Chain A
Amino acid sequence: MSRWIGLGALALFSMALGLVLGPTTIGIADVWAALLGRGDETTVAIVRDLRATRTVLAFLVGGGLAVTGAALQALVRNPLADPYLLGLSGGAGLGAVGAISFGLSGVWGVPLAALGGALIAIALVYRLAVVSGSVLDPRVLLLGGVVVGSFAASLMGAIMAVAPAPEIRNALLWLLGSFSGASWTRVWVFTAYAAIPLGIIWVQARPLDLLTLGEEPALVLGADVERLKRTLYFSASLLTAVAVAVSGIIGFVGLVIPHAVRILWGHTHAALLPAAFLLGGSLLVAADALARTLFAPVELPVGVVTALIGVPVFIILVRRWQT
């Protein structure tokens, strides 16, 4: 019980951090007043329309990525699995860079193109993993992901070589992860979309426990392994694809948060998944707050900060776990 209270407190603390920290200095009392709609117009706009939206979106995306990472690590039974493993980042990157270099603009132009690219990558990898005989063999999934990812990256390189340089540099900056496009619309779109795959993964918590034992033991213990793998694969991939669409590619959260939770609280997915959601959300909110503040007014790509915070924390955890 106390762990949930701790996690809840951490989540609240990080959200408070997300609201209070920013390139402009606003006192805590003024932030609170602005949240309630009081105070001068600019402060209210900054707190309610900019900081609050970023904070909520970062929390949801961070939580989603952490859950996806946990599910994929169980699916391919490989501790190195992360949400972008299966060729998704390459596909999304190709979509975004293509959209920008072909002049497809509009608020949703780049995100939708990234989503489209990710979906194509998912379909390709799935197709590869199906034609190879055994359905969704983890080895084939991993290889297929790497191959599709490199193929997309090469195409991206080709487009970058022939397209106008500054636009592409900006596209790459977007790909490194940013919540600058956060708005309540995006929060709602993401929530509505992500709720389904998150729910599906959550329902599979018990079969996921079985799957980590190996496919045969899971079969013997009564899990419908093939269906489970397909469900997980699509839920995880679709969730990641939409995360990329709203915020670019944010590494590290989906890789390390599940491991951190396993070290702290064990391997049962019924506890692992929600804990990973809360911890991943908290980490990403804190990382985004720091990305906005550390070198203000210059904003760092949030993916850079997640690794800067996450790696030291992870090293401490691993050392504690070994002793």
Chain B
Amino acid sequence: MYRVVLAVLAFAAIACGSRSPSGGELRDHAGHVIALEGPAKRIVSLSPALTELLFTLGVGDRVVGRTRWGQDPEAALAVPSVGDGLNPNIEAVVARHPDLVLFYLSPSNGVAIERLNGLRIATASVRLDGLADLAGAARLIGELVGARGVDSILIAFEAQLNEVTAGNQERPEVLLLAWDNPPIVIGGASFQSEIVERAGGRNVFADEALPSLPVSIETIVAREPDIVLLTGGEEPTFADAPEWQAVRAIRERRFVIVEGTQFAYPSFRAPEAIRELRRALDPHR
């Protein structure tokens, strides 16, 4: 019985692909039909990654609302912020008179989507967790805004990505540390882990199928990272803490510190991010 249910669910998931077989209606990555007539003219983007994608596709001038975190590219700063992207303030979104609201694909957006659809505002949930999602996201948004030339952008991107991706070489073991107390590390199911691997490093927690996880320092010691990758800021103060001296890479201050949203979410700047990481990792090979 269990297997039958799984098979039905799997079939349903496939059937909910982005385009219906008839080709008429457009569906988002949650499988919902997008009730939009003609190309979107006024777009509120509730995810920083999607905001940047709209600008990359050349329709930044149609973005009328962004989240307070959506600050890339610089031109996006001129767009009014509607607050948070998860659990958005519906009134602030509606006040921008959008004809399309873009969501990051997440179950927690259900209520907001229902409310907006009730107000006859079209919504689309877009999956954009890793580099592999970028093409699907760009194509869907391209169709929604009527952008042309998406395919050529994607082809160029693919070429750049292949160019910067490291080949088989000695891979330094990298600890991606998100927080120090309690220690939280980045697992395999994350964009950061993906770009580290492409830059020729190996995430010591790549085998954990989670975006991030709290672990004990002991686990970190046992995985023997060569380098600690941190996002933002200067050399961390916890490096002096006695309990962290058990980790050799921290004792020897082998930090790589990167900054910028190109390291935070998938975007067409990913090749740039990978190149920067490669340069930083090279001395440790």
Contacts and interface: CB of A to CB of B under 8 A. Distances in A.
A46 B221 CA distance: 7
Contact of A107 (B179, B210, B214, B240): B240
Contacts of A51: 218
A109 B246 CA distance: 21
- Size range of the chain B interface in the assembly: 20 to 34
A174 interface: yes
Interface string B203-236: 0010010100111111101101000000000001
Interface string A106-118: 1101100000000
Contact of A170 (B179, B216, B219, B222): B179
B183 interface: yes
A274 interface: no
Contact of B213 (A49, A181, A298): A298
A42 B224 contact: yes
Contacts of A166: 178-179
A239 B241 CA distance: 23
Contact of B216 (A22, A105, A183, A185): A22
B214 A298 contact: yes
B218 A181 contact: no
A110 B245 CA distance: 20
Contacts of A170: 178-179, 182, 184
B181 interface: yes
Interface in B49-98: 69, 84, 86
A183 to B, nearest CB: 4
A184 interface: yes
Given A24-B222, A105-B237, A297-B215, A184 B242 contact: yes
B221 A174 contact: no
A296 interface: yes
B214 A299 contact: yes
A109 B180 CA distance: 12
A: interface residue count bin: 35 or more
B182 A46 contact: no
A149 B149 CA distance: 58
B128 to A, nearest CB: 18
Nearest to B245: A49
A46 B218 contact: yes
Interface string A77-110: 0000000000000000000000000000111011
Interface in A1-43: 22-24, 42
B201 to A, nearest CB: 19
Nearest to A161: B84
B241 to A, nearest CB: 4
Interface string B36-56: 000000000000000000000
A183 B219 contact: no
A235 interface: no
Given A22-B218, A107-B240, A297 B205 contact: yes
Given A107-B237, A107-B241, A182-B243, A297 B219 contact: yes
A23 B222 contact: yes
Contacts of B218: 22-24, 46, 50-51, 292
Interface in B170-185: 178-179, 181-184
A173 B222 CA distance: 23
A299 B218 CA distance: 11
A174 B219 contact: no
Given A50-B246, A183-B243, A299 B224 contact: no
Contacts of A282: none
B206 to A, nearest CB: 12
B219 A180 contact: no
A178 interface: yes
Given A42-B221, A170-B184, A49 B243 contact: yes
A303 B17 CA distance: 43
A45 B220 CA distance: 12
A299 B221 contact: no
Interface of A: 22-24, 42, 45-46, 49-51, 53, 105-107, 109-110, 164-167, 170, 173-174, 178, 180-185, 292, 296-299, 301
11 contacts: A42-B221, A49-B245, A165-B84, A165-B86, A167-B179, A181-B241, A181-B243, A298-B208, A298-B210, A298-B213, A298-B215
The 7 closest A-B pairs by CB, nearest first: A183-B242, A45-B246, A24-B222, A178-B182, A297-B219, A183-B243, A170-B179
